[in-house]
Structure 1
Amino acid sequence: MPGAAFFDLDRTLLRRASGPALSEAMRETGVTSAALPLERAIFGYFDLFGETLGSIALARQGGLLVRGRAADAFDEAAEVAADRLAERVEPFARLLLDEHRRAGRPVVLATTTPEHLIRPFARRLGLDDVIGTRFEVRDGRFTGALDGPFVWSRGKLAAVRAWADEHDVDLADSYAYSDSVYDLPLLHAVGEPGAVNPDPRLLGVAIARRWPVLHFDTSPGVVKVPVVGLEVQQVAMAVARPELIPYARFEVEGVEHLPQTGGTILVGNHRSYFDFTTMLVAMRQAGRTGRFLGKKEIFDVPVLGQVMTALGGIRVDRQGDDDERDDPLVPAARAIAGGELVAILPEGTIPRGPDFFDPVLRGKPGAARLAALTRAPVVPFALSGTEQVWPRSARLPDVLALRRPPTVRVRFGPPVELKHRSEARDTDRIMAAIADLLPDELREPRRPTLAELARTYPDGVVPDEDRAFAVDG
């Protein structure tokens, strides 16, 4: 038997509760005349902390609202709410729905929300079916009694099992996604459980059982701080304030060239280990988080690799011999499809020796390939001065340069016009756009001193064959 994919609604497909939209639609269509007492506070608490026994006790009173009403009394309100709720479905939720459809799995909404209120929403999303709480209808009117289980916790599992038996679906081959610890019976019953925007207790279970922890407003693998809902990268950006980094002076220009929303490719040069910190400062000003491609050697380091993934990193095998890993452009393209920004340093590594001083930048074709694949705008940026704070020859940045900190510059430019016909030529266009943003002194050929040349090597030692490049070599 094939499997299916079961999705919870509130705080899963939707980041917040569906209740406010449903309640508002019912008032607008005359089904109800006023909001429930403390409605805003109840839903606000739910949005932050998830389901509680109190919120479920309130949901159980739904029979009182429908009792005696015509079976079609809520249809108009359900249609009005469906349009509003469909707009709130998270981008990566839509991508995951599409993945399950392509795999041939039925996609089913499994929610405590009354079925008569939420079925139009499911139709808007093209879902295959709805498993929701149903109320008995007799002589064309709701009696207020349940028609089947109350679809919550073990009741949800019972309803899903009944649906699976009816449709010849094997739960062991199925997927289920929820935010709530109360959905553990269902999550335990399927072969592929997923914790989405999990409440604190479900997060603990998911970590212990190594279940995927997802957030449908961001790429898979990106970690968020529970309750507050901030990405780890957002926390890092909050700390990356210029006044908290007194050993460098930052100048950021051209942030207006970065789109505020939508998939975007950000491309720049690579000069120092301090580049990442500098970009956190710059992106804080731009007001956007982003995903970034990084070499596999960093991601393969225990703990550090997990931290890089949590921050939004995408692992890149520069040698191309890591067969068990996906092409890094696949998750990068997925991030862009979800409306995220993806940063790439086309040089792939910090240039060393004479190459560091070459005004002609040379890049790999990954950024051009990604642009051709996604047709996202490609915004260039140029870094300079980061090598003065943390040269390649140093193990740590120079945090003692407090009296005369070096100036670090980030300059963004307008999107690069690409032709999407030749990766090589588009790569040249990208690298030229980055170089054009560099300060004048870095766009001219220059021979460094031996000391300057040494700072570009990991061990600080200039190979004999490169010494002649220095003016004093």
Structure 2
Amino acid sequence: MNGAAFFDLDRTLLPGASGPVVSDALRTVGLMGDRKIPGESFVFEFFDRIGETLPSMALARTGVRFSAGWDADLVAEAGRLAAAQLVDRLQPFALHLIDEHRAAGRKVVMATTSPSTVCEPLAELLGFDGCIATKYGVTDGALDGTIDGRYVWGIGKLGAVKDWALAHDVDLEQSFAYSDSFFDQPLLGGVGHPVAVNPDPRLRAVARLRGWPITHLDVPPGVPKIAGLEPQDLLLSLSRPEFIRYAKLDISGVEHLPAEGGAIVAANHRSYFDFVAIATALAQAGRPARPLAKKELFDSPLVGPLVAAFGAIPVDRGTGSDAPLEQAAEALAAGEVVVILPQGTIPRGRQFFEPELVGKRGVAQLARMSGAPVVPIGIWGSEHVWPRSARVPAVWNLIDPPKVQVKIGPRVELERTKKSTLPDVARVMTAISAQLPPVGRKRTKPTAEELARTYPPGMTPNQPEADGTGTGGKNKTAKRQDSAPKKPAPKKATPKKSSASKQSKPKKSKKNQDKAAIKKPGKKTGKKSGKKSAKKAPKAKAGS
């Protein structure tokens, strides 16, 4: 038996109540008057903010009686009209979650208190495998003001889910359930994998106590929300140039940023301060940024949780994995702004001062995967706020802070069709360069001090490059100042011959020894030497 994924509708798959859309559809087909019911808007708004309450659910159940006499066909038509509108209002990251369950081989089912006349056409549009919803009684082609079967709420929802699981051979222990409501505790506790989605205050407390995961489908996975706000919302309110007193931010071209929908922001990389500059620029358009950042930042016990909370996307450099691009494409599909620095890292040494920007293929590949527009940003002067050689930004520069230019350009026209991504990468880098001031597009001769500022703390060029004798800031030309010199490799000791090896060496016969003694010349030449040899020879022979 396989598991399934059961999704609540209001405030789970949808950001709020489906009621306003359903009411408008009923008015469209002529089942409700043109005027809204007094207090209707307040009830729906209260539900969106607080969630289900006992009074609101009692009112909903009483509303079943109010529908008595409605033509069943018109009700079904209103349900189809409402479903056609609701399908476009799903939470941004809901479809990705649904696709993950499908890929894992699980059935996807909607389980909601809403009437089946809305749930069934919506489930069909979304490609769900089933719909568990409240059914209204019908007599002689008209609603009779009763409920046919279970009222799918609270313990009744768990019962309806159990009935469906039994009929479709689904194991609830292997199943997932997603809901926002405190009153869905029976369902959440009845499956093996409960998840609280955008939970109301009481369900949040229960989820904390019981160790249930808490998620929000309107933000990237892992981004927390409190009272409906995520960390990016706080960042947007604080990201104002006048609040950053240690840098003079000159931001222009904000009109080129799309007001809504997914977009790729591509910028050059000169400093760790670049992310602050970009986020501040995007905040002027009210757009939060989801940057691609190196995985090492996520591994840090202090910085990691903060980076993840802001919805950054980890990049494990050097692996060649497309996982970060796939995650970025999902964020773009959800209408997010993704920030990518095509250079990959801050250039070192002489390369930092080269006017030609060199980018990697990721930006073009992401543009092809997502179809999102690419907006270039040119940054200049950020290295004076936080050079690569410093561990922290120069926040003490309050009297005469350095100027940082952030210029946003029009979207880049890409081909997106050729097999090679190199032409599109070149177009993006050219567009970024076009946003830099004239001095940023000229080759300059850096001083030794300027070169040193392009290296991480404790690392300097092996040879000063200001006189042109360096090799352009490549990694191999740099060395750690605090690193000890390499010790010479120890010489390999010559192994001593063992006594056994000596014994195993074949001995010369006595006859051969005698011949060697006779033939072996002395160290000195002459008769004296010859006499000594002659004397020794008989002696050696006598010993035989």
Write the distance in 2 (CA, Å) between the matches of 1:124 and 1:210.
34
Tell me the equivalent position of 1:5: 5
Measured after TM superposition, the shift of residue 141 of structure 1 is 4.3
Write the distance in 1 (CA, Å) between the matches of 2:145 and 2:431.
67
Greater alpha carbon shift after TM alignment, 12-21 vs 408-417: 408-417
Tell me the equivalent position of 1:408: 404
Give the partner amino acid of 2:312.
Answer: G
Contact 1:292–1:343 under 8 Å retained in 2? yes
Tell me the equivalent position of 2:252: 253
Alignment deviations for residues 180-209 of structure 1 (CA, whole Å, 9 cap, x no partner): 122122122223333222223333444555
1:20 pairs with 2:20? yes
Q: TM-score, normalised by structure 1?
A: 0.91
Tell me the equivalent position of 2:339: 343
Aligned residue for 2:114, secondary structure, equals strand
Write the distance in 1 (CA, Å) between the matches of 2:374 and 2:397.
35
Alignment deviations for residues 81-135 of structure 1 (CA, whole Å, 9 cap, x no partner): 2222223223322333334344443322111112234333333333332211123
Measured after TM superposition, the shift of residue 292 of structure 1 is 1.1
Measured after TM superposition, the shift of residue 453 of structure 1 is 2.3
Work out which of the residue numbers 447, 454, 457 in structure 2 matches 1:456: 454
Distance 1:205 1:364, change over 3 A: farther
Distance 1:470 1:9, change over 3 A: farther
Give the partner amino acid of 2:466.
Answer: F
Greater alpha carbon shift after TM alignment, 292-301 vs 177-186: 177-186
Write the distance in 2 (CA, Å) between the matches of 1:463 and 1:121.
63
Give the partner amino acid of 2:356.
Answer: V
Write the distance in 2 (CA, Å) between the matches of 1:336 and 1:17.
25
Alignment deviations for residues 272-329 of structure 1 (CA, whole Å, 9 cap, x no partner): 12111111210011221231110011011124212211101001000218xxx97211
Distance 1:411 1:181, change over 3 A: same
- Rg: which structure is higher? 2
Give the partner amino acid of 1:407.
Answer: K
Alignment deviations for residues 317-356 of structure 1 (CA, whole Å, 9 cap, x no partner): 00218xxx97211211111222222111122222222222
Write the distance in 2 (CA, Å) between the matches of 1:73 and 1:206.
41
Give the partner amino acid of 1:263.
Answer: G
Aligned residue for 1:145, secondary structure, equals strand
Measured after TM superposition, the shift of residue 144 of structure 1 is 3.0
Contact 1:114–1:134 under 8 Å retained in 2? yes
Greater alpha carbon shift after TM alignment, 102-111 vs 45-54: 102-111
Alignment of 1:275-424 (within 5 A): 275-320=274-319, 327-420=323-416, 421-424=419-422
Aligned residue for 2:32, secondary structure, equals coil
1:468 pairs with 2:469? no
Write the distance in 2 (CA, Å) between the matches of 1:257 and 1:145.
55
Aligned residue for 1:330, secondary structure, equals helix
Aligned residue for 1:177, secondary structure, equals strand
Give the partner amino acid of 1:122.
Answer: A
Write the distance in 1 (CA, Å) between the matches of 2:121 and 2:128.
10
Aligned residue for 1:136, secondary structure, equals strand
Give the partner amino acid of 2:448.
Answer: L
Tell me the equivalent position of 1:438: 436
1:240 pairs with 2:239? yes
Distance 1:210 1:447, change over 3 A: farther
1:200 pairs with 2:198? no
Give the partner amino acid of 2:382.
Answer: T
Greater alpha carbon shift after TM alignment, 192-201 vs 330-339: 192-201
Write the distance in 1 (CA, Å) between the matches of 2:318 and 2:125.
45
Tell me the equivalent position of 2:538: none
Measured after TM superposition, the shift of residue 236 of structure 1 is 0.8
Aligned residue for 1:130, secondary structure, equals strand
Work out which of the residue numbers 407, 427, 430 in structure 2 matches 1:429: 427
Contact 1:294–1:314 under 8 Å retained in 2? yes
Q: TM-score, normalised by structure 2?
A: 0.80
1:219 pairs with 2:220? yes
Write the distance in 1 (CA, Å) between the matches of 2:351 and 2:235.
32
Tell me the equivalent position of 1:158: 159
Greater alpha carbon shift after TM alignment, 268-277 vs 360-369: 360-369
Distance 1:185 1:236, change over 3 A: same
Size of the aligned set, in residue pairs, is 467
Write the distance in 2 (CA, Å) between the matches of 1:417 and 1:381.
15
Give the partner amino acid of 1:437.
Answer: Q
Aligned residue for 2:93, secondary structure, equals helix
Contact 2:373–2:411 under 8 Å retained in 1? yes
Tell me the equivalent position of 1:97: 98
Write the distance in 1 (CA, Å) between the matches of 2:303 and 2:155.
39
Structure 1, unmatched stretches of 5+, are none
Contact 2:236–2:286 under 8 Å retained in 1? no
Give the partner amino acid of 1:428.
Answer: A
Write the distance in 1 (CA, Å) between the matches of 2:469 and 2:322.
47
Distance 1:183 1:333, change over 3 A: same
Distance 1:402 1:54, change over 3 A: same
Distance 1:261 1:38, change over 3 A: same
Distance 1:418 1:23, change over 3 A: closer
Give the partner amino acid of 1:254.
Answer: G
Give the partner amino acid of 1:14.
Answer: L
Larger relative CO (CA 8 A, sep 6+): 1 or 2? 1
Tell me the equivalent position of 1:171: 172
Structure 2, unmatched stretches of 5+, are 471-544
Alignment deviations for residues 12-65 of structure 1 (CA, whole Å, 9 cap, x no partner): 111110111212222333323353332211111111121112211211213321
Measured after TM superposition, the shift of residue 357 of structure 1 is 1.4
Aligned residue for 2:165, secondary structure, equals helix
Tell me the equivalent position of 1:44: 45
Measured after TM superposition, the shift of residue 464 of structure 1 is 3.0
Distance 1:72 1:373, change over 3 A: closer
Write the distance in 2 (CA, Å) between the matches of 1:103 and 1:42.
38
Give the partner amino acid of 1:64.
Answer: R
Tell me the equivalent position of 1:82: 83
Greater alpha carbon shift after TM alignment, 7-16 vs 129-138: 129-138
Contact 1:95–1:338 under 8 Å retained in 2? no
Tell me the equivalent position of 1:189: 190
Tell me the equivalent position of 1:128: 129
Measured after TM superposition, the shift of residue 402 of structure 1 is 2.2
Greater alpha carbon shift after TM alignment, 206-215 vs 326-335: 206-215
